[in-house]
Structure 1
Amino acid sequence: MRFDLVDLQLFIAVAETRSITNGANRVHLALASASARIKHLEAALGVSLLERGRRGVELTPAGESLLDHARIVMHNVEAMRGDLAAFSRGVKATVRFLANTSGLSEYLPKALAAFLSQHPHISIDVEERESADIARAIASGAADLGLAAEHALPDGIERIPYSEDRLVLVTARQDELSNRRQVDFREVVERDFVGLITSSALHAHVTGHAARLGARLRFRARLNNFDAIGQMVSAGIGVAVMPEVAAKRCARSMKINVVKIRDPWANRRLAICARSFKALPKPAQQLVEHLRKMAPKGRPFD
Structure 2
Amino acid sequence: MRIDPYSLELFIAVVEEGSIARAASRSHIAASALSRRIADLEAAIGVALLIRSPSGVQLTEAGQHAYSSARSIHGQLESMAREVQSMSGQIAGVVRLHANASAIVGFLPERLTLFKTRYPLVEIALTEQISDEVIRACLDDRADVGISASTKAHAGLDSWRFVDDPLMVVLPPDHELAQADSLSFAEVTRFALVALQAGGSLDQTLKEHADAARMPLNVTVTVNSFDAQCRMVEAGLGIGIVPTSAASAFAGSRNFVRVPLRETWGSGRCLHVHAPRKSSRLKAVQALIDTLIDTLIDEG
Shorter-normalised TM-score: what interval? 0.5 to 0.7
Q: CA deviation at 1:166?
A: 0.8
- Write out per-residue CA displacement over residues 15-40 of structure 1, whole angstroms, 9 at most, x where no aligned residue: xxxxxxx98762259xxxxxxxxxxx
2:113 paired residue number: 113
Q: Which amino acid aligns with 2:276?
A: R
Q: CA deviation at 1:202?
A: 5.8
- Write out per-residue CA displacement over residues 223-249 of structure 1, whole angstroms, 9 at most, x where no aligned residue: 7444x6445534533211111243256
1:285 paired residue number: 286
Following the alignment from structure 2 to structure 1, what is the Cα–Cα distance between the partners of residues 61 and 289?
38
Closer, same or farther in 2 for the Cα pair 1:101/1:208, shift >3 Å?
farther
- Write out per-residue CA displacement over residues 161-210 of structure 1, whole angstroms, 9 at most, x where no aligned residue: 211111111112221112333333344345333355x3894664466447
* Correspondence 1:188 to 2:188: yes
Unaligned runs of 5+ in 2: 1-59, 86-90
What TM-score results when the alignment is normalised by the length of structure 2?
A: 0.61
Give 1:5-84 correspondences, 5 Å limit: 26-28=64-66, 77-80=76-79, 83=82
Q: Which amino acid aligns with 2:257?
A: N
Q: Which moved more, 1:217-226 or 1:122-131?
A: 217-226
Q: CA deviation at 1:133?
A: 2.7
Q: Which amino acid aligns with 1:285?
A: Q
Give 1:48-197 correspondences, 5 Å limit: 77-80=76-79, 83=82, 93-154=93-154, 156-189=156-189, 191-196=191-196
Following the alignment from structure 2 to structure 1, what is the Cα–Cα distance between the partners of residues 165 and 229?
18
Following the alignment from structure 2 to structure 1, what is the Cα–Cα distance between the partners of residues 297 and 247?
16
Q: CA deviation at 1:108?
A: 0.5
Following the alignment from structure 1 to structure 2, what is the Cα–Cα distance between the partners of residues 277 and 85?
18
Q: Which amino acid aligns with 1:80?
A: S
1:295 paired residue number: 296
2:12 paired residue number: none
What TM-score results when the alignment is normalised by the length of structure 1?
A: 0.61
Q: CA deviation at 1:144?
A: 0.9
CA contact (8 A) 1:100 1:201 kept: no
Closer, same or farther in 2 for the Cα pair 1:149/1:220, shift >3 Å?
closer
RMSD: 4.1
Q: CA deviation at 1:281?
A: 0.9
**3-state DSSP of counterpart to 2:139:** helix
CA contact (8 A) 1:131 1:152 kept: no
**3-state DSSP of counterpart to 1:126:** strand
Q: Which amino acid aligns with 2:65?
A: V
Unaligned runs of 5+ in 1: 1-21, 30-69
Q: Count residues with an aligned counterpart.
A: 233
Following the alignment from structure 1 to structure 2, what is the Cα–Cα distance between the partners of residues 85 and 276?
20
CA contact (8 A) 2:97 2:126 kept: yes
Following the alignment from structure 2 to structure 1, what is the Cα–Cα distance between the partners of residues 114 and 198?
28
Following the alignment from structure 1 to structure 2, what is the Cα–Cα distance between the partners of residues 116 and 242?
29
Closer, same or farther in 2 for the Cα pair 1:277/1:265, shift >3 Å?
farther
Following the alignment from structure 1 to structure 2, what is the Cα–Cα distance between the partners of residues 118 and 202?
32
Closer, same or farther in 2 for the Cα pair 1:109/1:153, shift >3 Å?
farther
Q: CA deviation at 1:271?
A: 1.6
Closer, same or farther in 2 for the Cα pair 1:101/1:25, shift >3 Å?
closer
Following the alignment from structure 1 to structure 2, what is the Cα–Cα distance between the partners of residues 28 and 230?
43
**3-state DSSP of counterpart to 1:179:** coil
Q: Which amino acid aligns with 2:285?
A: A
Q: CA deviation at 1:152?
A: 3.0
Give 1:196-235 correspondences, 5 Å limit: 196=196, 198=197, 201=200, 204-205=203-204, 208-209=207-208, 212=211, 215=216, 217-220=218-221, 222=223, 224-226=225-227, 229-230=229-230, 232-235=232-235
Closer, same or farther in 2 for the Cα pair 1:199/1:74, shift >3 Å?
farther
* Correspondence 1:269 to 2:270: yes
Q: Which amino acid aligns with 1:119?
A: Y
Q: Which amino acid aligns with 1:113?
A: T
Following the alignment from structure 1 to structure 2, what is the Cα–Cα distance between the partners of residues 250 and 92?
34
* Correspondence 1:243 to 2:235: no
Closer, same or farther in 2 for the Cα pair 1:78/1:215, shift >3 Å?
farther
Following the alignment from structure 2 to structure 1, what is the Cα–Cα distance between the partners of residues 249 and 104?
16
Following the alignment from structure 1 to structure 2, what is the Cα–Cα distance between the partners of residues 84 and 298?
32
Following the alignment from structure 2 to structure 1, what is the Cα–Cα distance between the partners of residues 133 and 210?
19
Following the alignment from structure 1 to structure 2, what is the Cα–Cα distance between the partners of residues 264 and 130?
22
